[in-house]
Amino acid sequence: MQVTSRNFKENSSKALKDDDLRVALNRVKTGFTTARATAASELPEFEELRNKSRDIKNDVLENLDYYLEYFEEKVLAQGGHVHWCSNATEAKAAILKICRDADAKTVTKGKSMITEEIALNKFLAAEGIEPIETDLGEYIIQLADEPPSHIIGPAVHKTKEQVTELFYEHHQKYGYTERQEDPEKLVGEARAVLRHKYVTADVGITGANFLVAETGSTVIVTNEGNGDLTQSLPKTHIVVASLEKIIPTLEDVSTVMRVLARSATGQEMSVYTTFSTGPKRSADIDGPENFHVVLLDGGRTEMLGTELEELLRCIRCGACMNHCPVYHAVGGHSYGWVYPGPIGAALNPQMVGLEEARHLPNASTFCGRCEEVCPVHIPLPKILRHWREKAFEQQIGPKPERWGIELWGFFAKRPTLYRLVTGIAARVLTKIAGRRGRIKSLPLMGGWTSVRDLPAPQGATFMAQWKKSGRGTQK
C-alpha cells in the first residue's frame, strides 16, 4: 500500500471530523475492551499464561534459526514446500511462480497482514491473476479499495450503510440488484457470492497465526470459516507467513491460543483454529494437492538482538489498538501504513523508515495501557521512546521543537537561573490572567490554548515562597 505515515497529522485531522468514524471507533472502544476484561477475569490462570507466552516467544527468538530449520524439515517430510524470502520482492516472485505453475486465474485469500505488508493483491492483479479476499471485513475493504484500519477487524471503520452501497454496486453482476439494509442479509449476500469463488479458485492463500516447528503445521484462527474454505478447496494452498510466527510445539501453541482470542475479541477461543500440515495425503478425498509455505523475513531478522526484538513477540491480537486512546481518536488509516495503533507506531518506523513514520512514536501520551493489556508483554511505550531518541539523535523532526526542549534543558540544569526564569514566568502569567484565573490565548502556546484555557499560576513560585518563609532547604 502507499505509505502516508508522513501525513499523520493531516490524516488524523480528517479522521477527527468524520462522524461515521467517531461512531465506529466508539464501538471498538467499548466493545473490545469490555470483552477482553471479562475474558481475562474468567480465567484465573490468565496472567500466568501471558507470562508463559512471553517466555515461549523469547525462546523462539533466541533460537529462531534452529526452529525454522526444524519446521522446514517437517514440512518437507509431509510433502510440502518452503520458500525462504528475504523481502517482499522475493516473496511476491515466489507466490507468482506457484500461481503460474497452477495456471491460476483466480486466487481466494484468507485474512493475512503479511500479504497486506507485501501488497500482494495489487501485484497479482497486475499479473492478470484476480485476488479475492474472503474474510468479510477484508472483502468489504477490497471492494472499497481501502487498506485495513484494524488488524483483526479490517473494516471496523465502515458503516452498515457504506457496506450496503458497496454490495449494491459490486454485486449486481451476480444478480443481486436490490439494496440490502439488514446486516444479516448483507452477510448472506457476501456468503453466496464468495461460496462459488471458493470452489472455482485455482489457488488459496492464507496467512498464519502460528507455524508449529514440531509438526511442520501452519495454523490459522478465524471466526468465519473463510480460511478453511480458502485452503481446502483449491488445488494449491499457499501460506504466507513471517518467520517469527514459529512456535516450538503443540503444547506451546495451546498456551498461546489461550491468550490470543481472549486478548483480541474477548472470546475464549475463536470459532475455527485450523492446523494444516502438508498437501492432501494419497488416500484423502479432499484437500489441496500442493502445499507451499512462503517464509518472509521482511526486515525482521535485523530486529533480533536489538531494542526492537521484543516487537517480534507480537501475536497480532490487536489488544493494543483496542485499548489505545489515540487509536480511538484517529482510527487505523491515520497511521498511514499496514499496522495501526501502538504496535504500528512501534513497528512502522523500522519498516518504512523513521523519517517517514516519525509522527507515530510521538503521537502517544505514554499512558501505558497497551503494554498493560499486551498478551506477550511487549514494552510498547519503551519502544516508542526508543524511536523518539533515535529521531532526536538523527535530528529528524521540526527544529523549533528541538530548540524548545534544549532551551528548557539548559535552564533545568542551572537551578539559580531556573529559579529566576520560572519566577518571572509565574508572575507574568499571573498578571496576564488577572482576576480571571485563566488565560485564553498566549503567543507560542497556541498548541495549548487552541484547545483549552491555561489555568493561571497563583503568583510567586513555591520555591520563592518557601525561601521567603525561611524554612528548611537542607538536610
Pick the closer one to another protein by CB: 328 or 338: 328
Pick the closer one to another protein by CB: 3 or 454: 454
Pick the closer one to another protein by CB: 163 or 241: 163
Q: Is 347 helix (H, G, I), strand (E, B) or coil?
A: helix
For the record, the C-alpha cell of 105 comes out as: 486465474
Burial class (CB in 10 A: 0-12, 13-18, 19+), 424: exposed
Q: Taking the complex as a whole, how short is the minimal distance between the CB of residue 78 and another protein, in angstroms?
A: 6
Pick the closer one to another protein by CB: 105 or 438: 438
> What is the rounded CA–CA span in Å between residue 82 and residue 295?
7
Q: Taking the complex as a whole, how short is the minimal distance between the CB of residue 44 and another protein, in angstroms?
A: 7
Please provide the DSSP assignment of 315-333 as one string.
----HHHHT-HHHHHHTTG
Q: Taking the complex as a whole, how short is the minimal distance between the CB of residue 136 and another protein, in angstroms?
A: 4
Q: Taking the complex as a whole, how short is the minimal distance between the CB of residue 352 and another protein, in angstroms?
A: 19
Q: Taking the complex as a whole, how short is the minimal distance between the CB of residue 351 and another protein, in angstroms?
A: 16
**Helix or strand run (H / E) with residue 131:** strand 130-133
Q: Taking the complex as a whole, how short is the minimal distance between the CB of residue 270 and another protein, in angstroms?
A: 7
Pick the closer one to another protein by CB: 279 or 338: 279
Pick the closer one to another protein by CB: 17 or 173: 17
Kindly give, in sequence order, each residue whose CB lies less than 8 Å from that of residue 134, ignoring residues fewer than 6 positions away: 108, 109, 110, 194, 197, 198, 224, 226, 227, 229, 230
> What is the rounded CA–CA span in Å between residue 330 and residue 51?
31
Beta-strand pair 236-242/203-206: parallel
Check residue 457 and report its DSSP letter. Answer: P
Pick the closer one to another protein by CB: 105 or 281: 281
Taking the mean position of all CA atoms in its chain, how far away is CA 56?
A: 21
Which residues are registered as beta bridge partners of 294?
A: 83, 240
Q: Taking the complex as a whole, how short is the minimal distance between the CB of residue 59 and another protein, in angstroms?
A: 9
